[in-house]
Amino acid sequence: MYKNFINLLNNTRKGPSHHYFVLKRNIILIMLSITIIPLATMIVISHFQYRAHLKSQTTAPLLSMAHKAAHSFELFMEQRLSTIRFISTAYSFEELSKEQRIREILIFLKKEFSGFVDLGLINSKGDLISYAGPYSLLGKNYSSQTFFQETQIKNKYVSNVFLGYRKFPHIVIAVQRLTDDGQTWILRATLDTEFFDLLISSMGFDTQSDVFLINGDGIFQTESLRYGRTLEKCPFKMPHDKFKSNIVESTDENNRDIIVVSAGVSIADYILVIVQPQSVALQSWHALKTELFFVFAVSLVIIVFAILWMTKMLVKRVRVSDRKRKNALIELQHTQKLSSIGRLAAGIAHEINNPLAIINEKAGLMKDLVELSTELSNKQKFEKLTESIVKSVGRCKKITHRLLGFSKRIDIKIETININEIIHEVLGFLERDAIYRRIDLRLKLLDSLESILSDYGLIQQALLNLLTNAFAAVEDGGIITIVSENYEDAGVLIRISDNGCGIPENIIKNIFDPFFSTKKERGTGLGLSITYGIVRKLGGQITVDSVEGEGTVFTVTLPAKADSNMEAKI
Amino acid sequence: MNNKNIKILLIDDEGEFVSTLAERLELRGYAAKTSEDGESGISMIESEAFDIVILDLMMPGLSGLETLRQIKIINSKLPVILLTGHGSTKEGMEGMRLGAFDYLMKPLDISELINKISLALNL
């Protein structure tokens, strides 16, 4: 009767431990996913959020620094240009044409302003009229050169860097002077670019940042710390619109992540560039990243350990309770088996006892008649024979009485019991079966149910039998209703109804008979007869009401107090 | 034998058993009559006077205990000896409570039965 259930517990196909392995695995997977997924999502989100925030926070000052630096250059150039513009205004063409004069002015400039290398006066045709400086350029014509043409158009000119005197990088600045009498001439000066580097270093950038000037073609105008020397080609592509400031994220040739910030210098064809490694710009982000990772790793370890430990304990408990339940079932099964045997034995003994009594009397009568007769031949032999029959009957009597005695070994133990409690306990045995078969168990148990004095184990067995039958009767997904209520003045009523196959009318009167079974090999035919025996023994009543195809209702009533003097006779 | 005057009624559903037992008792000088169910036994008691009744507890129809109860209603002084096929003494005890004189277990020992009859009738 419970074999299916026990097999279910054991899960015999793959061994009992497989079931727990699956349980354990599923719990671990579910718990890991519900803890780690949100945690990881949180960390990833905050990681990127913070990065985006930090980037906007760090790039803004970089950009303003680039603007300031570019502006410093503009101011510097503008100052040098104003200086020579002032000279061109203060002195007339004739005065400047004098060698002596222009040399004096250069000496003065060198003394007052750093960077001036030479100074030259060029007339409107491009001829160098006078010159002070280290070269001997007198007589040279500049009319075909860019600087000459550009100065004539724009009145001023700042050149790109070139290698000039002693192979030092230089730039040329020039201004055009337009006199009142319509004359034009150009004052041209060469500056060495040492002051560029001085200017950059005076801006106070950190050592990780690389700050330099390039021209519109991407040629270094100053020294770069990492990416090339003056007049070499800059490895970064700069935006075409040089007057706009720009931020680009890139990687350099050493595969370092860098931020390139550029700002145009309006006075000349220069772009100021600041290159900062991302590691510097996003240093605090990296710190946070490390912290986040650390927190995540520690949490992960704690979570995994906690889950593993909890699952282990949980599955262990489940295993223990399963084992307990299984043992209880086996015990119950054993008790039932024992009582079945007892009942069988009692049935046989009782049936044999009657013919035995007849044999006994017949033999006794024979003995009496033989004793009374006087002239019977072989009288003594007949006496012996009948005596022997009577003796044998005596032996049989002992055996049948012993067998009848066996069925009464299980004594009733009367105690105060709550029927609802037993119903819940019995359902505990069957709930897994109910879950697997999607059986709808409807409990309508009276909360204020009276306690009764009766035998716990026997009622448990009786209810288990009835419920097992109900389970066998219903299809998967069927409905079993269990009702408990107070019965009349004293005692309780338990009603177990199912919407199963029902019991045919022609056999309903036999269902409580021992060995009557419709389950063929699967049933012993003792379940209901034992139940009947138990209920009767405890002083109760059991009735059945069934409609074939619609369902069955078993109603059990139990008195408030079972008669403890009654002997068990399952 | 002065047992001739003693009238015994045997009530048991096993006809073979009860007739043989009656014959044996008659051999011992008793006047024995038989009945195979409770109802006819009771009507015999109502119509005739018996000195003692031997009653089987396990009977179809009217049960032994119920028959005993009715006998006691008709004649509470009529001694009844119960026969039980069970190994248990429970029903015997129940019978004693209802006023039976004693109970014996089947198969019977005839001398024990005679002994009980004598005791019941104070012979």
For residue B107, say if its preceding peptide bond is cis, omega within 30 degrees of 0. Answer: yes
Across A486-501, average pLDDT: 88
Of A357, A396, A402, which has the smallest distance from its Cβ to B108's Cβ? Answer: A357
* Residue A364 CB partners (closer than 8 Å, separation 6+): A386, A390, B20, B24, B110
- Using DSSP's 3-state secondary structure scheme, residue A153 falls into helix
- Pairing label, strands A452-455, A492-498: unpaired
- CA of A355 to nearest chain B CA: how many angstroms apart? 8
Of B16, B87, B110, which has the smallest distance from its Cβ to A405's Cβ? Answer: B87
The β-bridge partners of B31 are B7
pLDDT digits (tens, 9 = 90+) for A433-446: 888 888 999 999 98
Across A25-41, average pLDDT: 91
Listed as own residue / partner, the contacts of A276-281 with beta carbons closer than 8 Å and 24 or more positions apart are A276/A62, A276/A208, A276/A209, A276/A210, A277/A208, A278/A249, A279/A208, A280/A206, A280/A208, A280/A209, A281/A55, A281/A58, A281/A59, A281/A62
- Whether the per-residue pLDDT at B8 is higher than 90: the answer is yes
3-state secondary structure A318-331: HHHHHHHHHHHHHH
Of B88, B90, B107, which has the smallest distance from its Cβ to A360's Cβ? Answer: B107
According to the per-residue pLDDT averaged within each range, which of A8-12, A43-47, A431-435 is highest? A43-47
Using a CB-CB distance cutoff of 8 angstroms, which residues of chain A are in contact with residue B20?
358, 361-362, 364-365
Using a CB-CB distance cutoff of 8 angstroms, which residues of chain B are in contact with residue A365?
20, 23-24, 27
- ipTM comes to 0.89
Which pLDDT belongs to residue A2? Answer: 47
3-state secondary structure B91-107: HHHHHHHCCCCEEEECC
pLDDT digits (tens, 9 = 90+) for B18-60: 999 999 999 999 999 999 999 999 999 999 999 999 999 888 8
Q: What is the percentage of chain A residues whose pLDDT exceeds 90?
A: 18
Largest Cα separation within chain A, whole Å, is 196
Which pLDDT belongs to residue A404? Answer: 67
Yes or no: say if B105 and B77 are a contact pair by the CB < 8 Å rule: no
Yes or no: say if A494 and A482 are a contact pair by the CB < 8 Å rule: yes
* Residue B93 CB partners (closer than 8 Å, separation 6+): none
- Whether the per-residue pLDDT at A41 is higher than 70: the answer is yes
Across A83-102, average pLDDT: 89
- Interface residue of A361, A373, A387, A563 to substitute, partner B, most B CBs within 10 Å: A361
Higher pLDDT, B86 or B80: B80
The sign of the CA dihedral A358, A360, A365, A366 is positive
- CA of A342 to nearest chain B CA: how many angstroms apart? 13
CA distance A236 to A286: 25
- Whether the per-residue pLDDT at A568 is higher than 60: the answer is no
CA distance A162 to A192: 9
CA distance A313 to A305: 12
Of A364, A404, A408, which has the smallest distance from its Cβ to B24's Cβ? Answer: A364
Which pLDDT belongs to residue A94? Answer: 87
CA distance A526 to A515: 6
**Looking at the complex, does the CB of residue A362 fall below 8 Å from at least one CB of chain B?**
yes
Using a CB-CB distance cutoff of 8 angstroms, which residues of chain A are in contact with residue B17?
354, 357-358, 361
Using a CB-CB distance cutoff of 8 angstroms, which residues of chain B are in contact with residue A353?
85, 106-107
**Looking at the complex, does the CB of residue A391 fall below 8 Å from at least one CB of chain B?**
no
**Conformation bin of residue A218: beta by default, left when phi > 0, alpha when psi is -120 to 50:** left
Of A349, A393, A405, which has the smallest distance from its Cβ to B107's Cβ? Answer: A393
Using a CB-CB distance cutoff of 8 angstroms, which residues of chain B are in contact with residue A372?
27
pLDDT digits (tens, 9 = 90+) for B85-118: 765 556 777 788 888 888 888 888 899 899 999 9
Q: At what angle do helices A283-372 and A456-473 cross, to 10 degrees?
A: 110
Which pLDDT belongs to residue A146? Answer: 84
C-alpha of A311 from chain center: 15
According to the per-residue pLDDT averaged within each range, which of A84-93, A159-168, A304-313 is highest? A304-313
**Looking at the complex, does the CB of residue A387 fall below 8 Å from at least one CB of chain B?**
no
CA distance A367 to A83: 165
Higher pLDDT, A120 or A249: A120
pLDDT digits (tens, 9 = 90+) for A372-427: 888 888 888 888 999 999 888 888 887 777 666 555 544 566 778 889 988 987 78
CA distance A364 to A385: 11
Across A62-71, average pLDDT: 87
- CA of A426 to nearest chain B CA: how many angstroms apart? 31
Amino acid identity for residue B65 in this structure: L
The pair of structure tokens assigned to A204 is 């106070």
The pair of structure tokens assigned to A295 is 């927190």
CA distance B8 to A113: 161
Which pLDDT belongs to residue A76? Answer: 87
Mean residue pLDDT across chain A? 82
- Whether the per-residue pLDDT at A517 is higher than 90: the answer is no
**Conformation bin of residue A133: beta by default, left when phi > 0, alpha when psi is -120 to 50:** left
- Using DSSP's 3-state secondary structure scheme, residue A536 falls into helix
- Among chain B, residues having any CB pair with chain A shorter than 8 Å are 14, 16-17, 20-21, 23-24, 27-28, 85-88, 90, 105-108, 110
Across A54-61, average pLDDT: 79
pLDDT digits (tens, 9 = 90+) for A151-200: 888 888 888 888 876 778 888 999 998 887 788 899 999 988 888 888 88
Yes or no: say if B41 and B11 are a contact pair by the CB < 8 Å rule: yes
Which pLDDT belongs to residue A5? Answer: 47
Of A357, A393, A402, which has the smallest distance from its Cβ to B14's Cβ? Answer: A357
- Whether the per-residue pLDDT at A490 is higher than 80: the answer is no
Nearest chain B residue to A395, by CA:
B107
Of A360, A372, A403, which has the smallest distance from its Cβ to B108's Cβ? Answer: A360
* Cβ contact, residue pair B17, A353, below 8 Å: no
Which pLDDT belongs to residue A569? Answer: 39
A-B C-beta contacts closer than 8 Å: 69
* Cβ contact, residue pair B85, A354, below 8 Å: yes
CA distance A546 to A552: 4
Which pLDDT belongs to residue A566? Answer: 46
DSSP code, position A543: E
Which pLDDT belongs to residue A266? Answer: 82
